[in-house]
Amino acid sequence: MTLPGKSVYLYRAVDKEGKTIDFMLSEKRDEPAARAFFEKAIGSSGLPEKVTMDKSGSNKAGIDTINTYFFFMLFLSGAGLQSLAPIAVRQIKYLNNIVEQDHRFVKKITNSMRGFKAFHSAEATLAGIELHHMLKKGQHQQAENMSIFEQFYQLAA
């Protein structure tokens, strides 16, 4: 994604079935941004057993920080360290294809726009694109007898 004169980064998490877990647009690709994204994803979907990612050092550092934090909190609470295993990190190029293939839908729409003028407009537009994509994949819980448009208006209300 691009803004005038700079790039922004779209963090996305997808489970092994291809369902979108969470997404976040960030102005930087560093450890604090990666940690903030992982904390957001864990807060909405729970603690994963393992995470597959690209070779980005900032993503690995973000997960390492979260693992350290959880074990420190367990140590302070007096709970045994056996009660929680650290999040396993797999940095295997070909296993990251699920995320890349799912990201294709977002790229298809945003590439024709040739960037955004402001960060807040990029964030709002991408939230709408991601919401539409999630609805199209049938991720809404009460979606049995509703069209995509009905689901969208119910969520937007």
pLDDT of residue 62: 92
Q: What is the pLDDT of residue 156?
A: 58
Characterize the bridge pairing of strands 2-3 and 6-7: antiparallel
Domain boundaries, the chain: 2-156
Provide block-wise average pLDDT over 10 residues at a time, the chain (157 residues): 78 84 90 92 86 86 89 69 74 74 78 80 84 77 64 59
Quick one: pLDDT at residue 30? 92
- What is the pTM assigned to this prediction? 0.73
In CATH, which of 1.10.357, 3.40.1130, 3.30.420, 3.30.43 is domain 2-156? 3.30.420
Compute the distance between CA of residue 96 and CA of residue 64 in angstroms, rounded to an integer: 19
